[in-house]
């Protein structure tokens, strides 16, 4: 071998090296390009999914059962649940629940009640948020790279949303379109779609609470079955349904009942806009809810309520746990009535049992004082929503119609 | 015709053996030293193959991946084994090692694993001994260097995994680039080596770093000596290392993932889950390998102080660069130690020949056909006596059993028990919480249903962050550990005594769990009321 590497050989050998590099770049798949780019630029990639619709899908109620809740009972419940919040230091969690219940179009004759638009603006307009809090309060909406908007969440601060993607799910159910403008502290050119984009980007399959993320993704993405997360993980509604069924039934917020609601939403979407689930997973989801149905059938107290420790079934009735406060039983009963309202009858306990549960939870709601209702608004809002679903209506629609024949009378007039 | 007659009464003189002609071709004649070192390496091969037990962790997971790839004749796009990692992108940086190991296992049974293990360790040793002896011309110094290498890499060498293939590639590269007389075939050998390396293990990056450092080091030497850029630009060695680096980097692209492989290797190294594994944590003097590194480092200081040999910038950069990496993450020690021992042999040789015994020319007549025969004989005996040798030559394992060749911590009896539960349809539904070090063996030897229950295995960079954190929390019996078991729907727990003794104790005291099986290696627990 010649010991010297001549300049011409040196330059000549650059060609195959450059060709190899060019070839390797050219044959990279889009996903590989995304991951390489992410590594090079150090910027988080967005989820790889296309969203076609501007308005989210809606899960229509299935039943109109006046025996379960009469017009008068429903009106009484809704009257208690009117969003009479002080405009100072409004808690995003409460407003999210109120907006989810009443929807954006809601208006009230009662002066102290917030309209749907007011509630929406508090949540997605930083200017309105600052009016309620202080300019020094950490913003609820936070800018993220790639036109994303992150919702500050956690249990530590009252000015934050409590659950991950809860705000997204509530606004989605409340009928906020993707094109709705969103005003963050730094930008005024974003829309509600930016919140959805960020939720898709920062979603972690194994995070503690996925209930709201799953529901929102279902309502926005169906009939898309699968997509790719920012970290490259392949995601599908099959996986999400299995995730909702994973572990002990008691696991999850509100005694595990939100998981049931989200699972039922997926089944309904699968039926109406699907298929988004594979046959095996669809069957597994159905079986899971049928097992819950059996638990509820056997685990109901004589007065009609389902206990907060409902997953243990009859044992919870035979050995009542006196340490569980009443409001937790309201949570369990109200939430079960909510998912049952959108479930097919094959997944129902006998209708009499459902009516009994409804009667109990209506009674408990009407027994509360206004202060107690506001304090525990998040729980009772599910009661109001459930009752409307069982009458095949929405709170706003029913209440606004009701007020045409039963106008608001100021307390002083009594 | 009359037969010749012999006078048996007179003693016959012995034939003059020196008159026998050594007909072995000159190129095949070997020296006594080669024969001796070969005998030594044969003993090493026999010892590793026969007495070093197969470690109970990564090996089995890699075999399981090899089984899947061989079965599907393609590499899965997403993680195929761990149920909690469904959908996670699977960039298999070791597919060739996995498939090769599995093919050997299929063809020759479990003894082939010991063979592959011993062959890797022996080949690495042979390369170091070859280069060490060639440079030092001293058997003693060569063996001392080899012993230092064994000491420094002992912990890492005890684990059978694709990294051994990476280490072998590194040793091969070291031998090629430290050759005094670069050959034409090196231009082909180095890229080819990187093609193999990139498909066997993700450590090919250290090879590229080695080549880059040699190029930069040479350039620094020239800059200091000549002080002008032209000297660097026109230097043949600089050009050689730069070209080899470029060719090697291009050769790496010949893999199933192309350029993505680079991104993946960098991502794995920085994965937060890795930081929680002992072998990825910083090197400390409390670790046996840390003590070895300290001793080798001190020895290097002494040798560099005494050595009359010129110190190149490249060796300083390599020792400090790879040394810093080893301090940062103890697993990087396997790249520093071969370099350190190689440079130690060089300088020890320089010291020895300068102060004690001047270098003498080798006597060419010392190479004889006899030593070639002895060399071949030693190699054959070393091979033939091993379990794999018996399998290869006689077609069966003889008296060798799997349990005699695997580490004592391998959960053989536990997996047997779990498989029996599967056959009796007594495996509880849901996931199984398991010691991650055992996940690989459970995935390899467990029944199909058991494999679908494995919580985590040693490929922790594939495990979602939250799952890994929950694994750590449960293992450490942190507050809320029972809730976490509920959260995952765990009804079956398989734990080793050596790292999970506290959790085992807590489970024994817990009324929700029942010990189903236990031995001196570990225990199996079943939830009394399955979720």
Question: So what's the pLDDT on residue B3?
Answer: 46
Cβ neighbours of B231 (radius 10 Å): 15
Token pair belonging to B436:
């991650």
Read off the pLDDT of each residue in A269-273 and give the average, rounded to a whole number. 95
| pLDDT tops 90 at residue A279 | yes
Question: So what's the pLDDT on residue B14?
Answer: 67
Question: So what's the pLDDT on residue B480?
Answer: 93
Read off the pLDDT of each residue in A250-265 and give the average, rounded to a whole number. 94
A47 phi/psi in degrees, rounded to 5? -65, 145
- State which residue of chain B sits closest to A2, comparing Cα positions: B184
| pLDDT tops 50 at residue A286 | yes
Which class for B522: exposed (0-12), middle (13-18), buried (19 or more C-beta within 10 A)?
Answer: buried
B479 phi/psi in degrees, rounded to 5? -60, 140
pLDDT in tens, A146-201: 889 999 999 888 999 999 999 999 999 999 999 999 999 998 899 999 999 999 99
- The whole-number mean pLDDT for each consecutive block of 10 residues of chain B, a chain of 531 residues, reads 51 66 83 92 94 90 97 95 95 96 93 94 96 92 95 92 96 95 91 97 96 96 88 90 95 94 88 85 91 96 94 96 94 96 95 77 71 91 88 81 88 95 93 96 95 95 95 96 95 95 96 94 95 87
B308 phi/psi in degrees, rounded to 5? -80, -5
* Closest CB to B236 among A4, A231, A247: A4
| pLDDT tops 90 at residue A388 | yes
Residues of B in contact with A248 (CB under 8 A): 486-487, 489, 531
Question: So what's the pLDDT on residue A391?
Answer: 96
In the block, which residue shows the tokens 């070209």?
Answer: B243
Token pair belonging to B252:
């790496």
Helix (H) or strand (E) holding B307: none
In the block, which residue shows the tokens 């024994």?
Answer: B508
Calpha distance A203→A220 (Å, rounded): 15
Residues of chain A by 3-state class (helix, strand, coil), percent to 5: 55, 5, 40
| pLDDT tops 90 at residue A6 | no
| pLDDT tops 50 at residue A83 | yes
Calpha distance B449→B429 (Å, rounded): 10
Interface of A with B in 229-258 (CB under 8 A): 231-236, 239, 246-248, 250-251
| Smallest Cα distance from A192 to chain B, Å | 28
| pLDDT tops 60 at residue A1 | no
Length of chain A: 414
ipTM of the complex: 0.90
**What residues pair up with B493 in beta bridges, in sequence order?**
B433, B525
CB B97 within 8 A of CB B165: yes
Chain A interface mutation, best of B89, B189, B257, highest count of A Cβ atoms under 10 Å = B89
Residues of B in contact with A35 (CB under 8 A): 89, 260, 263
- State which residue of chain B sits closest to A27, comparing Cα positions: B258
Residue among B116, B94, B245 nearest B176 (CA) = B245
* Closest CB to B239 among A10, A16, A232: A10
Q: Where are the alpha helices (DSSP H) in B80-185?
A: 95-108, 111-136, 139-157, 163-177
Chain B interface mutation, best of A17, A35, A259, highest count of B Cβ atoms under 10 Å = A17
Reading phi first (left if > 0) and then psi (alpha if -120 to 50, else beta), residue B366 is in alpha
Residues of B in contact with A16 (CB under 8 A): 247, 250
Rounded to 10°, the helix A326-341/A351-367 angle is: 130
Cis peptide before A175 (omega within 30 of 0): no
Residue percentage of chain A with pLDDT more than 90? 79
Calpha distance B494→B516 (Å, rounded): 10
| pLDDT tops 70 at residue A320 | yes
Calpha distance A326→A372 (Å, rounded): 12
B165 phi/psi in degrees, rounded to 5? -65, -40
Question: So what's the pLDDT on residue B8?
Answer: 54
Question: So what's the pLDDT on residue B2?
Answer: 44
Question: So what's the pLDDT on residue B87?
Answer: 94
Query: Where residue A76 falls among pLDDT bands split at 50, 70, 90?
Result: very high
Calpha distance B521→B411 (Å, rounded): 7
């Amino acid at each position: 071998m010649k010991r010297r590497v001549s300049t011409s050989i040196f330059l000549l050998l650059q060609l195959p090296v450059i060709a190899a590099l060019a070839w390797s770049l050219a044959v990279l798949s889009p996903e590989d390009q995304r991951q390489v780019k992410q590594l090079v630029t150090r910027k988080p990639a967005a989820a790889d999914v296309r969203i076609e619709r501007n308005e989210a899908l809606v899960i229509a109620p299935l039943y109109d059962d006046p025996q379960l809740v009469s017009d008068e009972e429903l009106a009484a419940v809704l009257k208690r649940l009117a969003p009479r919040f002080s405009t100072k230091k409004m808690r995003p969690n409460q407003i999210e629940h109120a907006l989810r219940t009443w929807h954006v179009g809601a208006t009230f004759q009662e002066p102290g009640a917030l309209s749907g638009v007011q509630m929406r603006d508090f949540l997605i307009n930083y200017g309105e948020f600052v009016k309620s809090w202080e300019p020094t309060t950490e913003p609820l909406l936070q800018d993220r790279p790639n036109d994303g908007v992150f919702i500050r969440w956690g249990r530590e601060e009252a000015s934050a949303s409590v659950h991950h993607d809860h705000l997204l799910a509530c606004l989605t159910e409340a009928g906020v379109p993707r094109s709705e403008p969103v005003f963050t502290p730094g930008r005024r050119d974003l829309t509600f779609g930016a919140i959805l984009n960020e939720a898709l980007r920062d979603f972690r399959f194994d995070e503690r609470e996925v209930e709201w993320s799953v529901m929102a993704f279902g309502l926005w993405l169906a009939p898309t079955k699968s997509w790719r997360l920012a970290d490259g993980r392949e995601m599908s509604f099959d996986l999400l349904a299995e995730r909702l069924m994973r572990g002990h039934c008691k696991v999850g917020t509100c005694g595990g009942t939100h998981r049931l609601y989200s699972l039922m939403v997926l089944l309904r979407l699968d039926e109406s806009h699907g298929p988004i689930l594979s046959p095996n997973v669809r069957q597994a989801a159905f079986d899971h809810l049928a097992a819950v149905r059996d638990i509820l059938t056997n685990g109901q107290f004589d007065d009609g309520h389902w206990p907060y420790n409902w997953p243990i079934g009859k044992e919870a009735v035979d050995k009542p746990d006196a340490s569980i406060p009443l409001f937790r039983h309201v949570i369990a009963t109200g939430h079960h009535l909510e998912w049952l309202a959108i479930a097919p009858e094959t997944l129902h306990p006998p209708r009499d049992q459902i009516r009994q549960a409804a009667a109990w939870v209506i009674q408990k709601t009407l027994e509360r004082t206004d202060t107690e209702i506001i304090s525990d608004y998040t729980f009772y809002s599910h009661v109001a929503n459930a009752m409307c679903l069982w009458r095949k209506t929405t709170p706003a629609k029913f209440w606004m119609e009701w007020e045409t024949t039963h106008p608001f009378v100021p307390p002083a007039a009594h | 015709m009359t037969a010749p007659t012999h006078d048996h009464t007179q003693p016959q003189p012995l034939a003059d053996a020196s008159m026998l002609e050594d007909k072995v071709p000159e190129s095949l004649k070997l020296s006594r030293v080669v024969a001796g070192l070969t005998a030594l390496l044969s003993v090493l091969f026999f010892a590793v193959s026969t007495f070093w037990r197969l470690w109970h962790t990564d090996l089995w997971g890699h075999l399981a991946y090899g089984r899947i790839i061989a079965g599907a004749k393609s590499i899965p796009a997403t993680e195929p084994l761990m149920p909690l990692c469904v959908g996670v992108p699977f960039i298999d940086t070791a597919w060739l090692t996995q498939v090769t190991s599995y093919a050997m296992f299929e063809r020759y049974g479990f003894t082939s694993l010991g063979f592959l293990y011993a062959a890797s360790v022996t080949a690495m040793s042979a390369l170091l001994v070859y280069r060490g002896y060639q440079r030092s011309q001293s058997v003693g110094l060569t063996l001392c260097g080899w012993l230092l290498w064994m000491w420094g890499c002992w912990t890492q060498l005890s684990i059978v995994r694709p990294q051994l293939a990476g280490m072998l590639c590194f040793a091969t590269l070291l031998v090629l680039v430290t050759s005094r007389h670069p050959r034409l075939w090196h231009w082909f050998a180095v890229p080819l080596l990187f093609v193999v390396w990139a498909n066997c293990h993700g450590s090919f990056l250290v090879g590229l770093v080695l080549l880059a450092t040699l190029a930069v080091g040479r350039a620094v030497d020239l800059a200091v000596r000549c002080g002008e850029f032209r000297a660097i630009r026109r230097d043949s060695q600089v050009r050689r290392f730069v070209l080899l680096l470029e060719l090697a980097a291009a050769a790496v692209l010949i893999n199933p993932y192309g350029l993505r492989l680079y991104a993946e290797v960098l991502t794995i190294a920085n994965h937060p889950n890795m930081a929680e594994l002992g072998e990825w944590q910083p090197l400390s003097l409390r670790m046996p390998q840390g003590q070895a590194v300290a001793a080798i480092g001190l020895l290097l200081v002494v040798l560099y102080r005494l050595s009359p040999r010129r110190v190149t910038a490249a060796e300083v950069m390599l020792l400090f660069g790879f040394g810093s990496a080893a301090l940062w993450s103890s697993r990087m020690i396997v790249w520093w130690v071969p370099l350190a021992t190689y440079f130690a042999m060089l300088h020890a040789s320089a010291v020895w020949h300068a102060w004690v015994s001047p270098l003498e020319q080798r006597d060419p007549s010392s190479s004889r056909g006899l030593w070639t025969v002895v060399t071949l004989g030693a190699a054959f005996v070393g091979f033939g006596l091993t379990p794999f040798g018996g399998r290869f030559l006689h077609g069966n394992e003889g008296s060798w059993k799997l349990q005699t060749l695997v580490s004592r911590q391998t959960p053989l009896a536990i997996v047997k028990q779990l498989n029996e539960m599967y056959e009796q349809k007594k495996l509880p539904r849901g996931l199984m919480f398991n010691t991650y070090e055992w996940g690989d063996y459970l995935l390899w030897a467990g029944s199909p249903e058991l494999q679908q229950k494995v919580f985590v295995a040693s490929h922790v960079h594939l495990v979602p962050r939250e799952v890994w954190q929950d694994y750590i929390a449960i293992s450490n019996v942190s507050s809320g550990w029972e809730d976490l078991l509920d959260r995952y729907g765990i009804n079956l727990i398989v734990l080793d005594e050596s790292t999970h003794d506290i959790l085992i104790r807590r489970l024994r005291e817990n009324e929700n769990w029942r010990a189903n099986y236990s031995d001196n290696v570990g225990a199996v627990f079943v939830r009394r009321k399955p979720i």
